[in-house]
């Protein structure tokens, strides 16, 4: 794995952490976390404990991946905007 890939994974990890800290994504991030981070294999049992269907669990996992990706893209956009403003300030000096 190259440095660029590692950097992308680190950015995605930060995005997942942001998602997990937002109440609006609680249910989605719980399923995503259990599936991708904890590597739970007994989905049927976990879904039953959560009071949801397996299909709901998988739907939340899929949505969690999309949300984490969207957050990661927003973070990258904000970083570019900040860098752009910094370059303008530096050019004025």
| pLDDT for the residue numbered 42 | 94
Total domain count for the chain? 1
Domain range for 81: 3-92
Q: Show the low-confidence residues of the chain (pLDDT under 50).
A: none
Q: Determine the longest span between alpha carbons in the chain, in angstroms.
A: 62
| pLDDT for the residue numbered 4 | 83
| pLDDT for the residue numbered 36 | 87
Chain centroid to Cα 20, Å, comes to 8
> Which stretches within 1-93 are classed as H helix?
3-20, 26-32, 43-50, 54-92
């Amino acid at each position: 794995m190259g440095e660029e890939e590692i950097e992308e994974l680190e950015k995605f990890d930060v995005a997942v952490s942001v998602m997990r800290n937002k109440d609006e994504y609680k249910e989605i991030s719980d399923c995503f976390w259990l599936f991708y981070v904890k590597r739970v294999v007994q989905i049927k049992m976990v879904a039953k404990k959560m009071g949801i269907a397996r299909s709901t669990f998988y739907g939340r996992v899929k949505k969690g991946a999309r949300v984490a990706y969207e957050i990661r893209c927003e973070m990258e956009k904000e970083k570019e905007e900040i860098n752009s403003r910094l370059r303008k300030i530096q050019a004025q000096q």
